[in-house]
Homo-oligomer: A and B are copies of this chain.
Amino acid sequence: MIYRNRIGNAYSLTSFGESHGPAMGGVIDGLPAGLPVDIDDIQRQLDRRRPGQNDLTTARHESDKVEIMSGIINGISTGAPIGFIIRNIDQRTYDYDEIAQAYRPSHADYTYDIKYRGYHDRRGGGRASARETVCRVVAGAIARQALRLPGIDIVAYTSQVHDIKLDLPYDKLDLTHIDDNAVRCPHQETAARMEHAILEAKDRGDTVGGAITCIARNVPAGLGEPVYGRLNASLAAAVMSINAAKGVEFGLGFGFVDKRGSEVLDHFTLKNGKTGTTTNYSGGIQGGISNGEDIVLRVAFKPVATLMRDIATISRDGSPTTLHPRGRHDACVVPRAVPVVEAMVAITLLDHYLQQRQQLAFNGLV
C-alpha cells in the first residue's frame, strides 16, 4: 500500500492540515475500547515538540492545545475513532510571501509545485511543513500509553549534532534525564557542547544536521510480519516519513558492512530461564521479527534547509532570484524531532502488537 495521509492498519492515524490553515488534526482508529487515555500526557508530548520552548528553537509561538472530539469518555477509550484538532494560532503569512514565487533550495517547494501543479498551499510550506508532526505526536502519545499496559517502553534522544557525537551506548546512559537539557541528550556534558554547536550555527545564520537514537524496551518476541511487513521495514517507513530524515539503521546498522560474521553473531543464552542473546548487534530484530531484546534504531537528519542568509535560487518561471529568509526556523531540527521519532515508533509498534495479538487470540493463547 502506498500510504498517503494515513499510517498504520490495526492502529492508524489519518492526518490533515496545513501550517497556515485554521487547524491541524486527524483521526486515530483502532485503539481498543476500555483503555485509560491521559490527555495531559498527550499535551506534555505536544509541548516537547512545540516551537518556542527555548533559545534553540524557533520563536514562533503556538499553544498547540489538542481538542479531542470523539472516542474518549471520562479518560477511557470507547473503541470509536478519536478525532482531534489543534488550532494554528500564530500564522505570520507575510514571512512566506517571498517563497510563494521562488523555490527554496532543498525544500519541497519545487516538488510540491510539480506534484500539485501549483494548487497546493504554499504558505509556510503548507502540507510539507513539519508542523504536520503535531498530529503524529498525538497519535504517538496515545500509542505509547497503550503499549505501556503490557510494559513496552519507548524512548529517544539526540545522539549526534553536527560533529558532536555521543559515543556512549544507550545502556551506559541515564535515559531519565533526556529532557534535562534543550537538545534532549541524556549526557549533560555532551548536551552542552551540542547546544553550543547549534547556537553557533544559528548565530551564523546556518544550520546543522544530527541523529536521533530510539530504544524500545520490553517488546515481546514475535512482532513483525513476514515477509514484506518485517518490523524493521515498517519502522523504517515510519521514521523515514519524518521531515528531513535521510537514513535509518537498526542495531549495528551500517556498522555491519565492514564486519565479519564471526564478529557480530548475537549468541543465544538463557536470561532468567528465558531465551535471550548475549549481545544485541541485531537491534532486537531477527528475520524481521522482534526477538525480545531492546529494539535499537538510529535516524539521520539533514541540516534544516532554511538558512538565515540570502540564498540564490530560481523562481517558478525559471528566472534567477535571491531569497532573504526572515521566518522563524530551528537551526537544528533534531531536539524537537525526538518526540516525533518516539511517536512514529510507538504508532508502528502498537500496530504490530495488535496484529500479533490477533494471531495468538485465535488459538486462545492470549
Contact = CB atoms under 8 A, between A and B. Distances in A.
Interface in A107-128: 107-108, 110-112, 114-117, 119-121, 126-128
Contacts of A10: 2, 358
A49 B32 CA distance: 31
Contact of A16 (B82, B110, B211): B82
B16 A108 contact: no
A96 to B, nearest CB: 14
In this complex, the member of A82, A251, A277, A288 whose beta carbon has the largest number of chain B beta carbons within 10 angstroms is: A288
A292 B113 CA distance: 13
B361 A282 contact: no
Nearest to A150: B362
Q: How many copies does the complex hold?
A: 4
A119 B79 contact: yes
Interface residues of A, number: 160
A103 interface: yes
A207 B273 CA distance: 31
Interface in A225-258: 225-230, 232-234, 236-238, 240-241, 243, 245-254, 256-258
Contacts of A365: 117
Contacts of A281: 106, 302
Contacts of A227: 4-5, 15, 127-128, 132, 241
Contacts of A78: 18, 116, 119-121, 126-127
Interface stretch (A54-62, A65-73, A171-179, A183-191): A65-73
Contact of A268 (B16, B30, B221, B314): B314
Contact of A221 (B110, B132, B162, B222): B110
**A-B CB proximity, top 9 nearest:** A108-B287, A16-B83, A247-B249, A358-B358, A207-B261, A361-B361, A261-B303, A111-B289, A357-B361
